[in-house]
Structure 1
Amino acid sequence: MSQSPLYLQIKRYIIDNIESAKWPIGHRIPTELELTEQFKVSRMTVNKAVRDLVAEGKLSRKPRLGTFVCIADDKAESPLLDIQNIAEEVRLRGKTYSSKVIKQIALRADDSIATKLGIMLGSPIFYSEIIHLEDNFPIQYELRWVNSLYIPGYLDQDFSQITPNQYLSDNCPLSAIEHTVEAVAADDTVRSALKMGLNEPCLLLNRRTWSEDKLVSSALLYHPGTRYKLSSKILLT
Structure 2
Amino acid sequence: MQPRFQHIKSVLLDKISHGEMQSGDRVPSENQLAEQYKVSRMTARRALTELVDEGILARSQGLGTFVADHRPMSSMLEIRSIQDEIKQRGHRYSNLQFIKQTILATEQQSAWLGVEHKSEIFHTQIVHLENDLPVQVEDRLVNPAWAPDYLQQNFALTSANKYLNNVAPLTQADHIVEAILPNAQMAELLKIDLNQPCLKVCRRTYSAKGIVSYALLYHPGNRYRLGSHLEFNPTN
Partner of 1:215: 211
1:128 corresponding residue in structure 2: 124
Q: Which residue of 2 aligns with 1:196?
A: 192
| Identical-pair percentage | 36
Q: 2:176 aligns with which of 161, 180, 198?
A: 180
Does the CA contact (< 8 Å) of 1:111 and 1:121 recur in 2? yes
Please state if 1:145 is matched with 2:141: yes
**Helix, strand or coil: the match of 2:121?**
strand
Deviations 1:4-54 (A, max 9, x none): xxxxxxxxxxx79x938xx9xxxxxxxxxxxxxxxxxxxxxxxxxxxx867
Letter of the 2:132 partner, please give it: N
Quick one: distance in 1 between partners of 2:223 and 2:121?
A: 32
CA distance in 1, matches of 2:162, 2:132: 20
Question: 1:232 pairs with 221, 228, 231, which one?
Answer: 228
TM-align CA RMSD:
2.3
Cα deviation, 1:131-150, whole Å, max 9, x if unaligned, reads: 00101111000000000111
Cα separation, partners in 2 of 1:109 and 1:230, compared to 1, 3 Å: same
The residue aligned with 2:46 is: none
TM-score if structure 2 supplies the norm length?
0.71
Matched, 1:106 2:105: no
Q: Structure 2 stretches of 5 or more lacking a match?
A: 1-14, 28-66
Question: Paired residue for 1:157, among 145, 153, 168?
Answer: 153
Question: Residues 225, 57 of structure 1: CA spacing in aligned structure 2 closer, same or farther, 3 A cutoff?
Answer: farther
* Aligned residue in 1 for 2:87: 91
Instruction: Work out the CA distance in 1 between the residues paired with 2:232 and 2:153.
Output: 41
Distance 2:169 2:135 in 1: 26
Answer yes or no: is 1:56 the counterpart of 2:25. yes
Tell me the distance in 1 between the aligned counterparts of 2:192 and 2:22: 20
* TM-score, length basis structure 1: 0.71
What is the aligned counterpart of 1:115 among 111, 114, 124? 111
Contact preservation (8 Å) 1:209, 1:216:
yes
Residues 99, 132 of structure 1: 8 Å contact kept:
yes
CA contact (8 A) 1:72 1:226 kept: no
2:64: which partner in 1?
A: none
| Alpha-carbon offset, residue 119 of structure 1 | 1.3
| Larger RCO, structure (CA 8 Å, separation 6 or more) | 1
- Tell me how far apart the structure 1 counterparts of residues 221 and 68 of structure 2 sit (CA, whole Å): 9
Q: Which runs of 5+ in 1 are unaligned?
A: 1-14, 24-51, 59-70
Q: Aligned pairs, how many?
A: 180
